[in-house]
Amino acid sequence: MAIVHFLPILWGALISIMQIDAVYVSQWYNAPFIGLENYGQLFDFDTTVGSRFWFSMRQTAIFALGTVLGSYSLGLLTAILLDSEFRGSGVARILVLLPWICPAVVVLLVWRMMLLSDTGIINHVLLSAGVISDPLVWLIGPNAIYSMILVNIWINFPWATIMLYAALKSIPDHLYEAARIDGAGRWGQFRYVTLPQLKPISVVISLLLILWSFINFTVPFVLLGQSATRSGEVSMLFIYNYAFQNYAFGLGGAMSVVLFLFAMGIALIYYKYAVSGTFEGEGDD
């Protein structure tokens, strides 16, 4: 834990208060101490780096929100379908796992080919079905953020399905029997039995998906590359591109610290008001 997590965090915080650029990159220990100057640039919205960084934070929030809503909704629907017995249900459970267990880079490269505007199969299918009249540009321009959300949902919904499927199996049958006796139909059972019983695992799934989306680098980098347009330039990708293209490692460290604190703040607030409250409520019952 110290080597993998704590030391990199401390290193990032250290270089964020130093002027490590192209001049001092090979002799970082001689870099001058500049205090909070890097942070001042970030919180100055009139500067280019400040405005672009906070725009990337906004895109990251959209990316995280879309991922959570899509992955949870699709995961819940799939878990409910898998919870019912049907012919080939065992094979279906295995197939659902494929997007999650396949190597992420391989999956992303396949999606990148599918999303190409001229030769991609997605535009071909949409054109053939008459949904669109002209090919859409998915990886450049305003559609880039929606492409990332779509692909990230595809990768993460199997994990949500597994968690929700296990939770569905743990719901006692007598709760459904009591609901049926009280006259509840399928919707009533789902609303008053299934959803409340799924609340503990649902808040955990949402929290982890939010955090994973905020620190996700693989999806935007492989899908869009280093020349991503502003729509798809989420914080992790922007920090990487800006720091390494401009040799602004001190400023990149400051951006990383801000992103880290922002993600941790969201996690703590969510845990306090959702996760902790949910499990404490269970204990009181």
Q: In whole angstroms, what is the distance from residue 135 CA to residue 123 CA?
A: 6
Q: In whole angstroms, what is the distance from residue 233 CA to residue 145 CA?
A: 8
How many other CB atoms are found less than 10 A from the CB of residue 210?
18
Token pair for 82: 């898998």
Structural domains of the chain ordered from first start: 36-279 (1.10.3720.10)
pLDDT at 279: 57
Profile the chain (285 residues) by mean pLDDT over runs of 10 residues.
Answer: 84 87 76 88 88 93 95 94 82 86 91 91 91 89 93 94 92 89 87 90 90 92 85 91 88 91 85 66 52
Q: In whole angstroms, what is the distance from residue 27 CA to residue 187 CA?
A: 65
pLDDT at 254: 92
pTM as predicted:
0.87
